Amino acid sequence: MRKAFLVTLLFVLITCLSFATITSQTVASSLGMVSAANPYAAEVGAKILEEGGNALDAAIAVSYALGVVEPYASGLGGEGYAIISLASGEKYAVDFKAMTPAIATYEKLAELGTKISNVRYTPKGALVPGIPAGTQKIWELGATMPMADLINPSIELARNGIIVNDTFAGVVSDGYEKLLENAPEFLNDGLAWESGDLFKNEALADTLEILAAEGVESFYKGTLAKNIAEFMKENEGFITAEDMADYEAYVKEPIHGTYRGYDLYVPHPPVSGPQLIAVMNLLENFNLSAMSWDDPLAVHIIQQALVLEDVDRKFYISDPEFHTLPVEGFISKEFAKMRFMKIDLTKAMDPNTYFDNVGDAFVFDNGENYESVLLAEANKEAKSQEDIYESPSTTHFSVVDKYGNSVAWTQTISSFWGTSNFLDGYFFNNEIGNFASSFRPGDIINLTPGMRVRTTICPTIIEKDGQVKYVIGTPGGGRIISTVVQLIVDLIDFDMPIDQAVKTPKFVGYSSYKDVRIESGYPAETLEVLEKVLGHKIKEYTYPDLYFGGPNIISVENDGMMIGMGSVRRNGAASAPEM
Amino acid sequence: MKKILILFLMVSLIFTAIAAEKIAFEQPILITSGGQSPGALQMKVLAKASKLDYVFEKTISAADFDSGNYKTLIVVIGASGKGLGAAGIDIDAEVARVESLCQKAKEDGVKVALFQIEGGSRRGTSTDLIIDTLAPYADAVFFKLDGNEDGKFTQLEADYPIYFESFEKTSNVKSILKDNFAN
């Protein structure tokens, strides 16, 4: 008896010791890697890998965990997109973007005497959430562990609590007024959560237990769906039980592009995959590696490329189920040559003329070359586009396992706190704010029932010679593509290790900004050339600033060693099974 | 060496605060923001929880301040660009607003208590400007400990012979209100 007891004790001890993970801002391991915006979430994923789960298992677990530890940036009430690369060679783009409810129209808003800008922080601002459906769809694509096992770590986190970090405390402080009005039960006895506090979310733990026990279907057709429908009815939201039941996540092959011999796998519209490919195609025409990251000419070229393709994005990216989009033309190398010709190396484009320079991607949709298009005359009317504020919220994580599977996953509730309405322990997205504020003829982002609204997220997997090299992505609203592009250029053109690529100060090229928003850390001379010689207007932010996003990325070296780097701007972390 | 000195001064301050007599502020109380950060709203929650007789006016001007109706003015200091923007006011105008409020309070015999409850995360140039501008009018200053890591409030205490009290967590303010303001 005593011997049996000792053997059992030894077994338990060995088992506990063997479930060891290492979590830090930068981590190296050949046993798998998770990089996420919060160390708790990263560790949840690493533990799943440690237990023998694959990248899909770990990614699903991280998704749920982020809803617990970063309730302001994503969660059950949110949406997202994931790019998956399996060891078998199969690749998937999983769209779990939020869907517009059937009664959400401009006419309905007008009938209620309101408009989009007035409902962003009310239940009407919420679109049908997609994250739970996304996790289910991804599970079906190749997860190996029971879904309940992937949700359980989040139940524990929510029940036992987490220590609030500076980012969490800061975001609570910024959103305090809305939270006090719409979600007082979330607060700490009516006060803002502070760094060092123990934050528990019993309501979310209960909700996750229902999900684990009854399956994701409970969120769309069962107990949790009923709660959502009742809440919306009582609070004059648009989402109905029918909307919830109608929701589904989509799976496609990712869009494929190339950059200097690397293969890029990116999402489809209505998110920014094609825009990223378009920017990289344009930059490929410049010999960036002959410059350095802080060379004013490199900054100028990249910034102008970002602006040009952001202008194009506003005309060519929306929900492809509702609009005909020239995706093939937009991502073509020939279209990029036309855009390359627009960059003046001697001076910045006048911001007042950005929308006079929309590229015509449609003509390239049928494989035209740029010479023939150049020779054809085109009269273009100056176009205009509404400025839609894009919040720096959202969260991104990257996962690579030891079997050769990778996942790049970005999820969000749109603004931090979304609508700020709190139900069953989570917040609802307020994606309605990404539609045009009022109907405009011909606009591809008019509010439309069933539609998934355009946003700028862009989880990306980069391969070389068939092997995953980088898994990247970032939050940051309108700054997302700027940060992702700079990461790619820093990694590929400037040959930076990933920690340097993440830490290097960032800048933004965005058609809604007339200035170049840039983190401090560039040499004074670089800024002076940009301003005085090239004519840019510079707005400098003290480094590091959350405004520029929070990339959580992984690189895979030639010898199979994975290096994960968590965001320096947002208390991010990498975590891996210990070697 | 400087850190040790600051630590020593901070510890002295804590003991001084503990050892010193509590200051007594009377009600009714007007609570306003100095800088439009969320701290003022938290003070409103705390005042309600402490069952004080108070009025909360985030952006009240000196012209609208009917000093005859109040015994105490609480200014919760913390500058927020977002808050100022939402209030349609810039930092210079905000500083002028709260200074004129404090001036009127002093002239009319209303006691002034300054609170900095958001700590280090809310310290910055604009917040410090408000602190420095209002300190001469204050009868007491209450501050979160982690907002004094650079010794700002320690130095203020050396410059102004008024009541200073620190606290560790925002929730501690409830006790401070009960001890000093429920008169």
CB of A542 less than 8 A from some CB of B: no
Residue B14 has pLDDT above 60, yes or no: no
Q: Would you state the structure tokens that stand for residue A393, as one six-digit string?
A: 């919220």
- ipTM for the complex shown: 0.85
Do B41 and A169 lie within an 8 Å CB cutoff? no
**What is the total count of domains within chain A?**
2
Residues A303 and A367 in one domain: yes
b/e for A558-568, b at 16 or more Cβ within 10 A?
A: eeeebbbbbbb
The region that residue A279 occupies, defined by phi over 0 for left and psi between -120 and 50 for alpha, beta otherwise, is alpha
Q: Would you state the structure tokens that stand for residue A367, as one six-digit string?
A: 């494989």
Give chain B positions within 8 Å (CB) of A170.
121
Å from B41 to nearest chain A CA?
Answer: 7
The neighbouring-strand residues paired with B115 are: B76, B142
What kind and span of H or E run contains A263? strand A262-266
b/e for B111-134, b at 16 or more Cβ within 10 A?
A: bbbbbbbbbbbbbeebbebbbebb
- Are A420 and A121 spatial neighbours (Cβ–Cβ below 8 Å)? yes
CA dist., res. A201 & res. A158, Å (int): 5
- Are A424 and A204 spatial neighbours (Cβ–Cβ below 8 Å)? yes
Q: List the single best residue of B46, B171, B172, B173 to mutate versus A (max A Cβ within 10 A).
A: B171
Residues A240 and A105 in one domain: yes
Q: Would you state the structure tokens that stand for residue A345, as one six-digit string?
A: 């190396």
Å from B177 to nearest chain A CA?
Answer: 15
The DSSP output letter for B59 is T
Q: List the single best residue of A121, A194, A541 to mutate versus B (max B Cβ within 10 A).
A: A194
In a domain, A530, yes or no: no
Q: Containing domain of residue A359, as a range?
A: 273-375
CA dihedral (A520, A522, A523, A524) positive or negative: negative
The three-class DSSP label of residue B14 is helix
Residue in chain A nearest B144 by alpha carbon = A194
Look up residue A490 and give its amino acid: D
Residues A225 and A293 in one domain: no
CB of A547 less than 8 A from some CB of B: no
In a domain, A341, yes or no: yes
Do A174 and B42 lie within an 8 Å CB cutoff? no
DSSP string, A186-243: GSBTTB---TT-EE--HHHHHHHHHHHHH-THHHHTSHHHHHHHHHHHHTT-S--HHH
- Are A79 and A137 spatial neighbours (Cβ–Cβ below 8 Å)? no
Do B121 and A170 lie within an 8 Å CB cutoff? yes
Per-residue pLDDT tens digits of chain A, which is 579 residues long: 565 556 555 554 544 455 599 999 999 999 999 999 999 999 999 999 999 999 999 999 999 999 999 999 999 999 999 999 999 999 999 999 999 999 999 999 999 999 999 999 999 999 999 999 999 999 999 999 999 999 999 999 999 999 999 999 999 999 999 999 999 999 999 999 999 999 999 999 999 999 999 999 999 999 999 999 999 999 999 999 999 999 999 999 999 999 999 999 999 999 999 999 999 999 999 999 999 999 999 999 999 999 999 999 999 999 999 999 999 999 999 999 999 999 999 999 999 999 988 998 998 988 888 888 877 754 444 455 666 666 667 999 999 999 999 999 999 999 999 999 999 999 999 999 999 999 999 999 999 999 999 999 999 999 999 999 999 999 999 999 999 999 999 999 999 999 999 999 999 999 999 999 999 999 999 999 999 999 999 999 999 998 898 999 999 999 999 999 999 998 899 999 988
Do A191 and B41 lie within an 8 Å CB cutoff? no
The DSSP output letter for A367 is -
Q: How many residues does chain A have?
A: 579
In a domain, A115, yes or no: yes
pLDDT at A28: 96
Q: How many CA atoms lie within 13 A of A330 on its CB side?
A: 27
Residue in chain A nearest B80 by alpha carbon = A174
What kind and span of H or E run contains A153? helix A147-160
Q: Would you state the structure tokens that stand for residue A439, as one six-digit string?
A: 């109907």
- Are A21 and A551 spatial neighbours (Cβ–Cβ below 8 Å)? no
CA dist., res. B33 & res. B130, Å (int): 11
Give chain B positions within 8 Å (CB) of A195.
121
Helix pair angle (B125-134, B91-107), 10° resolution = 20
Residues A299 and A237 in one domain: no
The three-class DSSP label of residue A23 is strand
The three-class DSSP label of residue A555 is strand
Look up residue A512 and give its amino acid: S
Q: Which of A352, A375, A398 delimits the end of a domain? A: A375
The neighbouring-strand residues paired with B144 are: B167
3-class SS letters over A37-90: CCHHHHHHHHHHHHCCCCHHHHHHHHHHHHHHHCCCCCCCECEEEEEEECCCCC
The neighbouring-strand residues paired with A577 are: A21
Residue B19 has pLDDT above 90, yes or no: no
CA dist., res. A150 & res. A156, Å (int): 11
Q: Which of A348, A375, A402 delimits the end of a domain? A: A375
In a domain, A197, yes or no: no
Residues A346 and A240 in one domain: no
Helix pair angle (A147-160, A131-140), 10° resolution = 140
Å from B109 to nearest chain A CA?
Answer: 32
Å from B127 to nearest chain A CA?
Answer: 15
Residues A338 and A288 in one domain: yes
Residues A277 and A344 in one domain: yes
Å from A225 to nearest chain B CA?
Answer: 33
Residue in chain B nearest A166 by alpha carbon = B121
b/e for A121-130, b at 16 or more Cβ within 10 A?
A: bbbbbbbbbb
> Closest partner residue to B42 among A169, A174, A176, by Cβ?
A176
- Are A106 and A20 spatial neighbours (Cβ–Cβ below 8 Å)? no
Helix pair angle (B173-181, B39-49), 10° resolution = 60
Å from A184 to nearest chain B CA?
Answer: 11
- Are A30 and A560 spatial neighbours (Cβ–Cβ below 8 Å)? yes
CB atoms within 10 A of CB A250: 17
Residue in chain B nearest A189 by alpha carbon = B171
Among all chains, which residue has been given the structure tokens 């280090």? Answer: B120
Residues A105 and A242 in one domain: yes
Give chain B positions within 8 Å (CB) of A189.
49, 171
CB of A169 less than 8 A from some CB of B: yes
Distances (CA, A) of B4 to A378, B1, B9, B152: 72, 5, 9, 15
The three-class DSSP label of residue A394 is coil
In a domain, A114, yes or no: yes
In a domain, A367, yes or no: yes
Which tens digit of pLDDT belongs to each residue from B57-98?
A: 999 999 999 999 999 999 999 999 989 999 999 999 999 999
Residue in chain A nearest B49 by alpha carbon = A190
Among all chains, which residue has been given the structure tokens 């939201």? Answer: A237
Do B170 and A180 lie within an 8 Å CB cutoff? no
CA dist., res. A77 & res. A211, Å (int): 13
Distances (CA, A) of A446 to A153, A398, A429, B66: 40, 32, 18, 50
CA dihedral B165, B166, B170, B173 (to 10 degrees): -20
Q: What is the pTM of this model?
A: 0.91
Residues A232 and A339 in one domain: no
Among all chains, which residue has been given the structure tokens 């039980």? Answer: A241
**Beta-sheet pairing, A250-252 with A91-96:** antiparallel
CA dist., res. A10 & res. A365, Å (int): 65
pLDDT at B8: 64
CB of A541 less than 8 A from some CB of B: no
> Which residues, 6 or more positions from A27, have their beta carbon under 8 angstroms from its beta carbon?
A33, A563, A564, A574, A575, A576
The three-class DSSP label of residue A124 is helix
> Closest partner residue to B169 among A166, A180, A194, by Cβ?
A194
In a domain, A392, yes or no: no
> Closest partner residue to B49 among A180, A190, A194, by Cβ?
A190
Give chain B positions within 8 Å (CB) of A192.
38, 42, 170
Among all chains, which residue has been given the structure tokens 């929880």? Answer: B49
> Closest partner residue to B118 among A173, A188, A189, by Cβ?
A173
CB of A156 less than 8 A from some CB of B: no
Q: How many residues does chain B have?
A: 183
In a domain, A469, yes or no: no
Look up residue A155 and give its amino acid: I
Look up residue A188 and give its amino acid: N
Q: Which of A246, A281, A311 delimits the end of a domain? A: A246
CA dist., res. A220 & res. A133, Å (int): 8
Å from B60 to nearest chain A CA?
Answer: 18
CATH number at residue A349: 1.10.246.130
Residues A106 and A242 in one domain: yes
Do B121 and A169 lie within an 8 Å CB cutoff? yes
pLDDT at A134: 98
Domains with residue ranges and CATH for chain B: 2-177 (3.40.50)
Interface of chain B against chain A, CB under 8 Å?
37-38, 41-42, 45-46, 49, 82, 118-119, 121-122, 169-171
Residues A299 and A350 in one domain: yes
Higher pLDDT, B136 or A373: B136
Do B38 and A192 lie within an 8 Å CB cutoff? yes
